């Protein structure tokens, strides 16, 4: 499961730039995850500077 805390998210795009399967996109409302592409690798969680992303396999 992939979750983002929209209140914490800075919309910096760090997670978008490291996603190996291009599952993340930065929209006006924040980060959007394409669950059909996401492999739950957790790289986005590791690079988030404020800990807004949580990935549970």
Per-residue pLDDT of the chain (57 residues; tens, 9 = 90+): 999 999 999 999 999 999 999 999 999 989 999 999 999 999 999 999 999 999 998
Q: Domain 2-55 adopts which CATH fold?
A: Alpha-Beta Plaits (3.30.70)
pLDDT, position 10: 96
pLDDT, position 49: 98
Measured distance CA(13)–CA(50) in Å, rounded: 12
Name the pTM for this structure.
0.91
Domain ranges of the chain: 2-55
């Amino acid at each position: 499961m992939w979750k983002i805390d929209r209140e914490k998210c800075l919309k910096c795009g760090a997670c978008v730039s490291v996603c190996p399967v291009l599952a993340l996109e930065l929209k006006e409302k924040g980060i959007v995850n394409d669950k059909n592409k996401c492999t739950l690798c957790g790289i986005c969680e590791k690079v988030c500077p404020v800990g807004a992303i949580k990935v549970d396999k």
